[in-house]
C-alpha cells in the first residue's frame, strides 16, 4: 500500500471516532442584540464564507446531539473561529481528489456518507476553539514563540501552532502552512473573534510511528537515521499509541467524577476560592525525541544517511566512548534489548511526554521575570527521567544562553550578593542546542510526539553525570508526572477553573499518573495557579486532603554518592502533619524521621530562623544553625510582587528529609502519609531536590542561596 493512501485511511479512521463536548446547544442564550455574532458576520459575507457555513450547518456538536456547530456559534460564548474562504474550501476539495479520496471536488462525490461527514467534522472541529466563559484568541494573545501552541485546544482537542515569517512580519501561519489573511483577522463578534484563513486547517492524526515509517519509506532526509534507530530499538508500537481509550470510556460514563471539596469544607485558596476540582477529560500518551540530524551522521560516519546502519552508529558510539564507564551493556545486534548499547544510547534521547516548542521550560516567576514583557532573566530549568534505562536529562534556558539547551552547565553569578545570571560557559559544558524555533520544527510534529533537532551528540557520559551531580537538582513536583505535560495540565495559561483546579482519581478508580500511588482516602488536586502571586516554584502546587497516603517515584541520581533529599513547603494553618518514608522497596519504605508539622513557619523556635541582614557572616551562621535542625530557607531565585521569596517571609522552608548514599541504577520512592485523625488538613508539595554532599558540605565553596 502506498504511504499516502495508508495515512489517508488512518486519518479517516481517526476522525470517525471524534466525540463532541456538548449534547445540546442552549438556544435560550441566543443573542438578540444588534451586534454581530460569528454566524451573522459570516452570513453577511457569504460570498467569502458560504462553503464553510454549509459545513457548519451539516456538522453536529457531538455524536449524540441534533444541534449543529452552526447553532453553537450563534450562542453565547467566547469562540475563536479560523474561517476558511470559499477559495480555500475549493482547494481543499481538490486536494482530496488528488489524494484519491473522491473523484471530483464535490460533496456529492464521496462514496460513503460516513466519510463525507467525517471530513466535514474535521474541518469544523479543527477550525474552532471554545474558550468557554473566559477567553477567545486575538492575534496579540498568540504565543510569541515561533512554532508555539495556543493554550486551548480546538473542538478536536488538538492544539493549533503558530508560525511567523521573519521576512514578512505581518504574516501568520497556523499549523505551519495555513496562512491567515493579513487584512481580515481579529474580527470581533459578541461571542468571539474570527480570523479569515486562506487554507483549510485540517491536520491528519499522524502518530510519531507513522511519521517515522513515512520518513523511512520515502527515504526523506532530516531524521532518517534517527527514525531507523527508533524502529530498530523496538519503539514502533510505543510511538503508535495516542490515547488511553479505557480512561476516556470511564470518563464519558461518569466513572471518573470531578471532586467537590465542599464535602470537606475545603476551598482552594488563592484568587477564587473555587470549590470544585475537575478530572481530566482525556489521558493521552506522548513522546519527545531530541535527535542528531542526518547531516551530523553523514559527517561523522562518512556515508549517505540512507546507507547508515545501526551497526555503524553503535560502532561510532563505541569508538567515541559515548557512554559512562559504569554502564553495563552488550554491543551486540539485539537492538530491542535494554542491555544493548545502541538501545541505551538512543532511549536517552526520548522523554515519555509530548512537549510543545514553547513549553520546553517554563518562565513564570523567576527573579526579575515579567509575564507581560516576557524578557528572559535568570536561568530556568527542568530535570526529567528519560525512557529506557531511567537517566537524568536537564533542559535549560537563560537570558544569556540564546536558546534552549540540554545538559548545559554554565558559570553563574551565584554569590550571596550576585545576580544568578550566566557569567560564561565553558566550551565542554555548553550542551546541546535544541532547534525549537526554525520553520523545520513543525515538519516533525505528530499528534503524539515531536522530534527536535540538536546540534551535537547527546550522550550520558561520565562528564555529563559529574556535571549533573555538581549542581543542585531541583525538580518541580509536576515534572515527575509525564501525563501532566502530555495532557496539557501543567502551567496552562487559562483562568478557566477547569484548567486551574485538576483532580486526579485514586488508583483504585483509575491510575492516571504512572509515577504515583495513592489510597482511596486521598483527594489529590493540582492547582495550576495561573496569575497567582504565590512564592511557589512556577507558582503552582500539589495538594491533597483526607486520610491521604501518597507514594511517588523519584527521578534517578546521576552518579553514586551521598545526597540530601529536600522538600519545599510554604507553611500555613491549612496544612497538616505528614510522616515521610523513603527507600527502594515501595512496599517497605522506612520513615525518614519524626512527622513534620507543615503548619510551622521558620519562626518556630526549633528551626533557628532569623531574617537575612546586611551581615553575610551572620546570615551564613543562621543558615548553618538551621541546617543543624534539618531545615533550610527557601530559594533566592523565585519571587513574587514583594520580591525574592527567600527574603520576603519566614513561610518559605526546605526540610531535609534524607541524607544517605544513593545509587544511580536504583529507583527511589517517597511516601507522604497523614498522621492526623482529621481528614480536613492539607498535604502540600511544591518541589523536591537532590543535593550531593560535595555541594552542601563543601568547605571551600559553600552551597549558594539560589
Q: Quick check: 333 and 327 in contact, CB under 8 A?
A: no
Q: Does 271 score more than 60 pLDDT?
A: no
Q: Quick check: 510 and 250 in contact, CB under 8 A?
A: yes
- Separation CA 668–CA 210 (nearest Å): 35
- Separation CA 289–CA 232 (nearest Å): 15
Q: Does 19 score more than 80 pLDDT?
A: no
Q: Does 440 score more than 90 pLDDT?
A: no
Q: Quick check: 541 and 527 in contact, CB under 8 A?
A: yes
Per-residue pLDDT of 570-591, as tens digits, reads: 999 999 999 999 999 999 999 9
Predicted pLDDT of residue 127: 98
String of b and e for 447-483 (b: at least 16 CB within 10 Å)? bbbbbbbbbebbbbbeebbebbbebbbbbbbbbbbbb
Q: Quick check: 238 and 287 in contact, CB under 8 A?
A: yes
Q: Quick check: 379 and 410 in contact, CB under 8 A?
A: yes
Average pLDDT over every residue of 322-335: 96
Q: Quick check: 546 and 578 in contact, CB under 8 A?
A: no
Predicted pLDDT of residue 3: 36
Q: What percentage of the chain carries pLDDT values higher than 90? A: 86
- Separation CA 8–CA 205 (nearest Å): 10
**Which cell numbers hold the place of 592?**
525518614
- Separation CA 527–CA 45 (nearest Å): 43
Q: Quick check: 367 and 646 in contact, CB under 8 A?
A: no
A 10 A CB-CB count for 421 gives 18
Q: Does 29 score more than 90 pLDDT?
A: no
- Separation CA 80–CA 127 (nearest Å): 8
Is residue 446 helix, strand or coil? strand
Predicted pLDDT of residue 32: 39
Predicted pLDDT of residue 396: 98
Pairing state between β 549-553 and 561-569: unpaired
> DSSP characters for 182-218?
SSS-SEEETTEEEEEESS--------HHHHHHHHHHT
Q: Which residue has the cell 479517516?
A: 12
Average pLDDT over every residue of 487-496: 93
Nearest in space to 655 (alpha carbons), one of 574, 585, 593? 593
Average pLDDT over every residue of 390-405: 97
Average pLDDT over every residue of 370-390: 95
Nearest in space to 105 (alpha carbons), one of 124, 91, 126, 84? 91
Q: Does 448 score more than 50 pLDDT?
A: yes
All domains in the chain, ordered by first residue: 3-197 (2.30.180.10), 208-253+285-345 (no CATH), 351-447+456-464 (no CATH), 471-696 (2.60.120.260)
- Find the farthest-apart pair of alpha carbons in the chain and give their distance in angstroms, rounded: 83
Nearest in space to 125 (alpha carbons), one of 154, 161, 83? 154
DSSP letter, residue 72 = H
String of b and e for 609-626 (b: at least 16 CB within 10 Å)? bbebeeeeeebeebbeeb
Inter-axis angle of helices 294-301 and 310-319, nearest 10: 70
Average pLDDT over every residue of 528-547: 93
Q: What percentage of the chain carries pLDDT values higher than 70? A: 95
Q: Which residue has the cell 481528489?
A: 97
**Which cell numbers hold the place of 164?**
511567523
CA angle (336 as vertex; 332, 338 as ends), nearest 5:
80
Per-residue pLDDT of 115-129, as tens digits, reads: 999 999 999 999 999
- Separation CA 102–CA 122 (nearest Å): 16
Continuous segment of H or E residues that includes residue 443: none
Predicted pLDDT of residue 35: 81
DSSP letter, residue 555 = P
Q: Does 425 score more than 70 pLDDT?
A: yes
- Separation CA 520–CA 90 (nearest Å): 55
Q: Does 656 score more than 80 pLDDT?
A: yes
Nearest in space to 315 (alpha carbons), one of 327, 294, 328, 297? 297
Residues in contact with 658: Cβ distance below 8 Å, sequence separation at least 6, in sequence order: 563, 564, 565, 582, 592
Predicted pLDDT of residue 272: 62
**Which cell numbers hold the place of 292?**
542528531
- Separation CA 657–CA 689 (nearest Å): 10
> DSSP characters for 363-408?
-SSBTT--TTT----S-EEEEEE-SSS--EEEEEE-TTT-S-EES-
Nearest in space to 277 (alpha carbons), one of 617, 522, 43? 522
Average pLDDT over every residue of 193-199: 98
Residues in contact with 169: Cβ distance below 8 Å, sequence separation at least 6, in sequence order: none
**Which cell numbers hold the place of 50?**
458560504
- Separation CA 681–CA 547 (nearest Å): 9
Predicted pLDDT of residue 647: 87
Predicted pLDDT of residue 15: 39
Task: Report residue 441's pLDDT band, with 50, 70 and 90 as the boundaries.
Answer: very high
Residues in contact with 396: Cβ distance below 8 Å, sequence separation at least 6, in sequence order: 361, 379, 380, 381, 404, 405, 406, 407, 408, 431
CA angle (674 as vertex; 672, 677 as ends), nearest 5:
170
How far is C-alpha 111 from the geometric centre of its chain's CA atoms? 40
Q: Does 593 score more than 70 pLDDT?
A: yes
Per-residue pLDDT of 231-264, as tens digits, reads: 999 999 999 999 999 999 999 999 999 999 888 8
Average pLDDT over every residue of 495-518: 95
Strands (E) across 459-560 are located at 473-476, 501-504, 516-518, 523-527, 541-545, 549-553
Continuous segment of H or E residues that includes residue 486: helix 482-486
Task: Report residue 11's pLDDT band, with 50, 70 and 90 as the boundaries.
Answer: very low
Helix segments in 58-104, DSSP class H: 69-72, 86-99
How far is C-alpha 357 from the geometric centre of its chain's CA atoms? 10
- The residue ranking higher by pLDDT, 374 or 304, is 304
Average pLDDT over every residue of 307-312: 98
Nearest in space to 523 (alpha carbons), one of 499, 556, 546? 546
Q: Does 317 score more than 60 pLDDT?
A: yes
Mean pLDDT across the chain, nearest whole number? 92
Residues in contact with 615: Cβ distance below 8 Å, sequence separation at least 6, in sequence order: none
Nearest in space to 80 (alpha carbons), one of 88, 92, 72? 72
Torsion region of 407: left, alpha or beta (phi above 0 gives left; psi -120 to 50 gives alpha): left
Q: Quick check: 25 and 73 in contact, CB under 8 A?
A: no
CA angle (474 as vertex; 468, 478 as ends), nearest 5:
125
Predicted pLDDT of residue 31: 40
Q: Does 10 score more than 80 pLDDT?
A: no
SS3 content of the chain, % helix, strand, coil (to 5): 25, 25, 50
Torsion region of 624: left, alpha or beta (phi above 0 gives left; psi -120 to 50 gives alpha): alpha
Amino acid at each position: 500500500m502506498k504511504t499516502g493512501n495508508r495515512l489517508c485511511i488512518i486519518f479517516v479512521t481517526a476522525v470517525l471516532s471524534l466525540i463532541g463536548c456538548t449534547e445540546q446547544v442552549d438556544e435560550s442564550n441566543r443573542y438578540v442584540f444588534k451586534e454581530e455574532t460569528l454566524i451573522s458576520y459570516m452570513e453577511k459575507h457569504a460570498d467569502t464564507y458560504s462553503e464553510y457555513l454549509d459545513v457548519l450547518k451539516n456538522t453536529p456538536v457531538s455524536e449524540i446531539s441534533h444541534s449543529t456547530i452552526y447553532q453553537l456559534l450563534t450562542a453565547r460564548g467566547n469562540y475563536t473561529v479560523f474561517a476558511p474562504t470559499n477559495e480555500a474550501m475549493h482547494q481543499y476539495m481538490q486536494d482530496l481528489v488528488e489524494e484519491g479520496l473522491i473523484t471530483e471536488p464535490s460533496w456529492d462525490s464521496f462514496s460513503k456518507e460516513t466519510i463525507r461527514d467525517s471530513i466535514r467534522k474535521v474541518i469544523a472541529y479543527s477550525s474552532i476553539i471554545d474558550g468557554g466563559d473566559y477567553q477567545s484568541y486575538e492575534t496579540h494573545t498568540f504565543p510569541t514563540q515561533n512554532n508555539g501552541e495556543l493554550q486551548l485546544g480546538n473542538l478536536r482537542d488538538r492544539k493549533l501552532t503558530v508560525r511567523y515569517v521573519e521576512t514578512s512580519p505581518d504574516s501568520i501561519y497556523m499549523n505551519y502552512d495555513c496562512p491567515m489573511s493579513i487584512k481580515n483577522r481579529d474580527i470581533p463578534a459578541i461571542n468571539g473573534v474570527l480570523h479569515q484563513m486562506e487554507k483549510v486547517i485540517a491536520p491528519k492524526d499522524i502518530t510519531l510511528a507513522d511519521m517515522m515509517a513515512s520518513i523511512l519509506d520515502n527515504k526523506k532526509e532530516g531524521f532518517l537515521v534517527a527514525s531507523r534507530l527508533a524502529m530498530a530499538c523496538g519503539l514502533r508500537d510505543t510511538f503508535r499509541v495516542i490515547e488511553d481509550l479505557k480512561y476516556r470510556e470511564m470518563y464519558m460514563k461518569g466513572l471518573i467524577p470531578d471532586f467537590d471539596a465542599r464535602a470537606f469544607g475545603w476551598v482552594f485558596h488563592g484568587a477564587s476560592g473555587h470549590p470544585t476540582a475537575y478530572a481530566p477529560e482525556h489521558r493521552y500518551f506522548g513522546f519527545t525525541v531530541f535527535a542528531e540530524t542526518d547531516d551530523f551522521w553523514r559527517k561523522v560516519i562518512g556515508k549517505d544517511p540512507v546507507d547508515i546502519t545501526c551497526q555503524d552508529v553503535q560502532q561510532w558510539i563505541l569508538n567515541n566512548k559515548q557512554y559512562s564507564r559504569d554502564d553495563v551493556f552488550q554491543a551486540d545486534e539485539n537492538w530491542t534489548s535494554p542491555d544493548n548499547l545502541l538501545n541505551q544510547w538512543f532511549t536517552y534521547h526520548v522523554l515519555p511526554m509530548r512537549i510543545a516548542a514553547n513549553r520546553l521550560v517554563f518562565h513564570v516567576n523567576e527573579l526579575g521575570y515579567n509575564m507581560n514583557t516576557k524578557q528572559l532573566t535568570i536561568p530556568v530549568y527542568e530535570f526529567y527521567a528519560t525512557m529506557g534505562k531511567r537517566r537524568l536529562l536537564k533542559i535549560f534556558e537563560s537570558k544569556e544562553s540564546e536558546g534552549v539547551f540540554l545538559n548545559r552547565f554554565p558559570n553563574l553569578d551565584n554569590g550571596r550578593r550576585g545576580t544568578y545570571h550566566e557569567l560564561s560557559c565553558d566550551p565542554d559544558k555548553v550542551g546541546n542546542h535544541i532547534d525549537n524555533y526554525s520553520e523545520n520544527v513543525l515538519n516533525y510534529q505528530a499528534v503524539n510526539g515531536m522530534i527536535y533537532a540538536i546540534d551535537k551528540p547527546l550522550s550520558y557520559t561520565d562528564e555529563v553525570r559529574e556535571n549533573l551531580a555538581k549542581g543542585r537538582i531541583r525538580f518541580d513536583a509536576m515534572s515527575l508526572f509525564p501525563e501532566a505535560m502530555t495532557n496539557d495540565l501543567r502551567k496552562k495559561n487559562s483562568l478557566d477553573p477547569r484548567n486551574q483546579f485538576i483532580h486526579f482519581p485514586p488508583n483504585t478508580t483509575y491510575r492516571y499518573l504512572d509515577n504515583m500511588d495513592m489510597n482511596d482516602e486521598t483527594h489529590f488536586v493540582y492547582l495550576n495557579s495561573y496569575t497567582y502571586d504565590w512564592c511557589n516554584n512556577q507558582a503552582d502546587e500539589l495538594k491533597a486532603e483526607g486520610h491521604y497516603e501518597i507514594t511517588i517515584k523519584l527521578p534517578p541520581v546521576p552518579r553514586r554518592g551521598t545526597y540530601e533529599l529536600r522538600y519545599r513547603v510554604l507553611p500555613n494553618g491549612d496544612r497538616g502533619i505528614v510522616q515521610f518514608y523513603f527507600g527502594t522497596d515501595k512496599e517497605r519504605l522506612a520513615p525518614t524521621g519524626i512527622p513534620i508539622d507543615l503548619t510551622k513557619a521558620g519562626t518556630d523556635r526549633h528551626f533557628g530562623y532569623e531574617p537575612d541582614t546586611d551581615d553575610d557572616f551572620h546570615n551564613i551562621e543562621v543558615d548553618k544553625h538551621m541546617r543543624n535542625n534539618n531545615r533550610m530557607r527557601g530559594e533566592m531565585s523565585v519571587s513574587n510582587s514583594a520580591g525574592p521569596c527567600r527574603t520576603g517571609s519566614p513561610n518559605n522552608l526546605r526540610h531535609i528529609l534524607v541524607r544517605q548514599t544513593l545509587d544511580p541504577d536504583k529507583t527511589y520512592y517517597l511516601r507522604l502519609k497523614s498522621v492526623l485523625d482529621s481528614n480536613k488538613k492539607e498535604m502540600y508539595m511544591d518541589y523536591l531536590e537532590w543535593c550531593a554532599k560535595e555541594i552542601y558540605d563543601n568547605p571551600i565553596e559553600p552551597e549558594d542561596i539560589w
